[in-house]
Chain A
Amino acid sequence: MSSVFDQLLAEVQAVQVELLIDAQNASKKRPYIMCNSNLMCEIPVAFDCTFSHLTMTGATGTALPNAGELIDKGIELGVSSSMCNAIKVACYYLEAGLLTVPDMIITTNSCCDSMDTLGKLMNGYKPWAHIPRIQLDAPHHRDEEAFVYFGKQLRQAVTLMEDIAGRKMDWNRMNEVCVESNKQRQLQLEFQEMKRAVPCPAEPDLARLGSEYTNWIVERVSPKATDWLERLVSATEPRVKAKQGIDGVTEKVRYLWQDLAGSWPEGAVRQRLQKELGAVGVMDYVQFATWTPIDLSSEENMFTSFAKRFLLEDPMNRQALHDVQFYCDDILHIVKDFKCDAVIMAAHVGHHDVNSKLKIVKDMCRDNGIPCLVVGMDIWDKRVVPPDVVYEKIKTFFEITGLI
């Protein structure tokens, strides 16, 4: 990897650490909002409040050196044995009283049963019973009516935030934040467009990290994040023109990892596949960007845009909330547009929605001549199916399909 990409990677990894301490930094000077899901980040940023997405906090916990211990603590709670381990860690943080007490709780049913259950535990946590809260119903529809419906609920959440903070939303500031956000999403799309090139011009996972930078960490929607994305795009552009691939990688296979990257597969499996086999995971759940700009023409349109982003474009909501055909269409488009040779379905144990679609996906891939492997693993806990086993499974799959 070139030094520019090294620098970008180091920067994004540094700010990722801030995700963990975001909640701890929650100062009483600013209202602190906790959600079980990824509420549109533009809202808390514009309102100048501290925000945490407890699912993400749990997921980050599974990347810590003591991840096994944290997951085991979550298992010991006995909520549900099959629940996603990222959520188990989040539940442990909650039940052990390790979290800063929020000033407001927002829960939604998006996007999976486990995240819904986390919302249930947040709402049922007695020490927080006095905290004002709102529950948002994320519909499984993806039409304009659904966006308007959910947008109104987001607006209600803002009203509650205003009541709690005793101040109004500064709509000029909201406008500024949305402009910045639109700029960032455009840059993400530009980087994504460049990943169509063969060979892939940059570490594809930078797209995921960029998405996390703009969505989930303290510097979300900041000019600093925009600058990061601009440098990413600038550094990648000449490589596309020069048909230059990832440094040190002779690209032989391009695949779609149809799940989240999780806390360990990127380093322990995907990087190894890339380095040893020239197999590049050009796309995954979080890398895949379908962003449309926030409509700034009116307050109502702005919230409808937020809703559309949340329901249809937010990573994972897009893949988990909707019907199977929509999911399959995305796979087909990605495979075609990014010239993927294969689809790897991680089939994470906690993703019951994905695990309810597998035959349809496998049949669709077969009908379209796309090699597809279903792994079956826990993307947050490498003790379930160890990295070596996952690696060997994928390697064997590439071998028997003649891709390597």
Chain B
Amino acid sequence: MKSGLDSKTFDKLSVIAGGTMNPSVQNWKNNGGKVIGYTCSFVPEELFIAAGLLPFRIRGKGSKNADLAGDYFVPASTCSFVLNCFNQVLLGEYSFIDGAVIGGGCDANRHILENWQHSSVKTPFLQRIFFPHASNEATALYFLKDLAILKAQLEEHFAVQITDEKLWDAIKLCNETRDLQRRLYALRQVDSPPISGSETIAVIVAGSSMPKAEYNADLKTLLAELRGAPVKDNKYLARLMIVGSGHDETSICDIVEGLGGLVVADLTCFGGKVIFGSVKENGPDPLQAIADYQVLDRPFCPKNLDAHPHLNKEIFDKIRDYKVDGVIGQTFRCCETWGGELYVLKKEFQETGISMLKIEREYIPDSLGQLRTRVQAFIEILTGGAS
């Protein structure tokens, strides 16, 4: 990713987003801190923070291939994001973590747990948490029960007590993160945003790869720098939004922005879905507040049968607020859940005159030339051939 930002803070966050182990995590470890990995945006970081752990979202960044993971999964019919994430685990890229919690979302993702347990990578604490596939009070209550189990498992394994007070503090800290991230996104609503799509994704990804308090401080600095910077005279051909599955690296944004487009918004598993809303900061039970937030307030996982109306509203709101000219729907091959969601969305876009380019790809982008041609053609359609 090439960045036009002259900011040491951004440079730091970009480096963190670009790899796995990083100086901030190293520092945490040097001070005796423990790190817990997790695989999905619905695994609540608040619980780990309240346990005194550093949550680190497992990504595939840096993966060159998924050869090792291909022994565990059938590569031809498994999501390549899952494959590359697990391959990084097998390569020892996550040897610094002290445990991991696997999100029980789609079929391939949830079985990372057993494959990890079966592998030679010995991680002392491995658990899984399932998310409901419908959003209502009963499902939120069921998820609350699972959260309570996970809380007890964390307490026992790490010999800590997760008190309500610690949970409320963690909720406030994570709410602050989401609030700052939303402010960063809001900067892209203007005609000439001070930060590109690639740069934004890097900043957001860094948020799940370092201590939250340090991240929040860095993000405040970066926001101040961006607000104080002279207005850029950005020349771009079209304002685009990316919707779809795990987007922990910037390759699609890089292609779009390298061809004269500007990614101004997204709703992806590492971006817009993560920064949505806030957990209630008061009430009788902080765990209940987390469960309600995950199940009732942001039912954005396309595996959720109720998700579509919520996703639809969020996407159309963003299209309006960020003055989006066209949408790129990107999904990894073998991701049926996003495939279905994008199919339904595409029909709704057609009805409302919004153009969408659907890209089904591998995690490590192949056929880059072909991809560039398709994106270029899409931008040309949006601009009436101006590019």
Chain A interface residues toward B at CB < 8 A: 77-83, 107-109, 112-114, 116-121, 123-124, 126, 135-141, 145, 149, 152-153, 320, 323-325, 347, 349-353, 355-360, 363, 374, 376
List 6 A–B pairs whose Cβ atoms lie within 8 Å, in order of A's numbering: A113-B106, A116-B133, A116-B305, A121-B343, A145-B145, A325-B114
Q: Which residues of A contact B22 (CB under 8 A)?
A: none
The answer on a CB contact under 8 Å between A117 and B336 is: yes
Q: Which residues of A contact B139 (CB under 8 A)?
A: 137
For B275-315 the 0/1 string (1 means CB < 8 A from A) is 00000000000000000000000000011011110000000
Q: Which residues of B contact A353 (CB under 8 A)?
A: 107-108, 111
**Residue B358 contacts which of A78, A121, A123, A325 (CB distance < 8 angstroms)?**
A78
Chain B residue with the shortest CB-CB distance to A360: B118
Chain B residue with the shortest CB-CB distance to A133: B305
The answer on a CB contact under 8 Å between A137 and B110 is: no
In Å, the complex CA distance between A137 and B134 comes to 5
**Residue A352 contacts which of B77, B142, B331 (CB distance < 8 angstroms)?**
B77
Query: 20 extra interchain contacts, Cβ-Cβ under 8 A, other than A113-B337, A153-B138?
Result: A77-B343, A80-B343, A80-B360, A82-B77, A82-B334, A83-B339, A109-B303, A116-B305, A116-B340, A121-B340, A121-B343, A135-B133, A137-B142, A149-B142, A324-B114, A353-B111, A355-B77, A355-B78, A357-B114, A358-B74
The answer on a CB contact under 8 Å between B138 and A356 is: no
The answer on a CB contact under 8 Å between B108 and A356 is: yes
**Residue A140 contacts which of B78, B79, B104, B331 (CB distance < 8 angstroms)?**
B104
Closest Cβ of chain A: how far from B267's Cβ, in Å? Answer: 16
**Which among B82, B118, B339, B360 has the highest number of chain A CB atoms within 10 Å?**
B339
Q: Which residues of A contact B71 (CB under 8 A)?
A: 359
Q: Which residues of B contact A109 (CB under 8 A)?
A: 133-134, 303, 305
The answer on a CB contact under 8 Å between B107 and A135 is: no
The answer on a CB contact under 8 Å between B333 and A81 is: yes
Q: Does B341 contact A (CB under 8 A)?
A: yes
Chain A residue with the shortest CB-CB distance to B139: A137
Contacts A113-B303, A116-B305 given; indicate if A350 touches B106 (C-beta within 8 A): no
Q: Which residues of B contact A119 (CB under 8 A)?
A: 305
Q: Which residues of A contact B306 (CB under 8 A)?
A: 135
Chain A residue with the shortest CB-CB distance to B334: A82
The answer on a CB contact under 8 Å between B111 and A324 is: yes
Contacts A113-B336, A126-B347 given; indicate if A120 touches B133 (C-beta within 8 A): no
Q: Which residues of A contact B142 (CB under 8 A)?
A: 137, 139, 149
The answer on a CB contact under 8 Å between A352 and B118 is: no
In Å, the complex CA distance between A126 and B344 comes to 9
Q: Which residues of B contact A359 (CB under 8 A)?
A: 71-73, 115, 118
Q: Which residues of A contact B334 (CB under 8 A)?
A: 80, 82, 352
The answer on a CB contact under 8 Å between B77 and A358 is: no
Number of A-B contacts (CB under 8 A): 147
In Å, the complex CA distance between A100 and B302 comes to 26
Q: Which residues of A contact B110 (CB under 8 A)?
A: 140
Q: Which residues of B contact A152 (CB under 8 A)?
A: 138
Q: Which residues of B contact A78 (CB under 8 A)?
A: 343, 358
The answer on a CB contact under 8 Å between B118 and A108 is: no
Chain B residue with the shortest CB-CB distance to A327: B114
Q: Which residues of A contact B305 (CB under 8 A)?
A: 107-109, 116, 119-120, 123, 135, 137
Closest Cβ of chain A: how far from B147's Cβ, in Å? Answer: 14
Q: Which residues of A contact B125 (CB under 8 A)?
A: none
Closest Cβ of chain A: how far from B60's Cβ, in Å? Answer: 16
Closest Cβ of chain A: how far from B296's Cβ, in Å? Answer: 13
In Å, the complex CA distance between A80 and B359 comes to 11
The answer on a CB contact under 8 Å between A80 and B77 is: no
In Å, the complex CA distance between A119 and B343 comes to 13
**Residue B341 contacts which of A120, A137, A153, A352 (CB distance < 8 angstroms)?**
A120
Closest Cβ of chain A: how far from B217's Cβ, in Å? Answer: 39
Closest Cβ of chain B: how far from A385's Cβ, in Å? Answer: 11
Contacts A139-B142, A352-B107 given; indicate if A358 touches B134 (C-beta within 8 A): no
Q: Does B47 contact A (CB under 8 A)?
A: no
The answer on a CB contact under 8 Å between B308 and A123 is: yes
Q: Which residues of B contact A360 (CB under 8 A)?
A: 72, 114-115, 118
Q: Does B335 contact A (CB under 8 A)?
A: yes
Q: Does B349 contact A (CB under 8 A)?
A: no
Closest Cβ of chain B: how far from A348's Cβ, in Å? Answer: 8
The answer on a CB contact under 8 Å between B114 and A349 is: no
The answer on a CB contact under 8 Å between A137 and B133 is: yes
The answer on a CB contact under 8 Å between A136 and B134 is: yes
Closest Cβ of chain B: how far from A23's Cβ, in Å? Answer: 21
Q: Which residues of B contact A140 (CB under 8 A)?
A: 104, 110, 130
The answer on a CB contact under 8 Å between A116 and B337 is: yes
Q: Which residues of B contact A137 (CB under 8 A)?
A: 132-134, 139, 142, 305
Closest Cβ of chain B: how far from A396's Cβ, in Å? Answer: 20
In Å, the complex CA distance between A119 and B82 comes to 23
**Which among A80, A83, A119, A363 has the highest number of chain B CB atoms within 10 Å?**
A80
In Å, the complex CA distance between A351 and B142 comes to 27
Q: Which of B331-386 contact A (CB under 8 A)?
A: 331, 333-337, 339-341, 343-344, 347, 358, 360
The answer on a CB contact under 8 Å between A117 and B337 is: yes
In Å, the complex CA distance between A3 and B43 comes to 58
The answer on a CB contact under 8 Å between B76 and A376 is: yes
Q: Which residues of A contact B104 (CB under 8 A)?
A: 140
Q: Which residues of B contact A356 (CB under 8 A)?
A: 72-74, 78, 82, 107-108, 111, 115
**Residue A116 contacts which of B74, B118, B336, B344 (CB distance < 8 angstroms)?**
B336
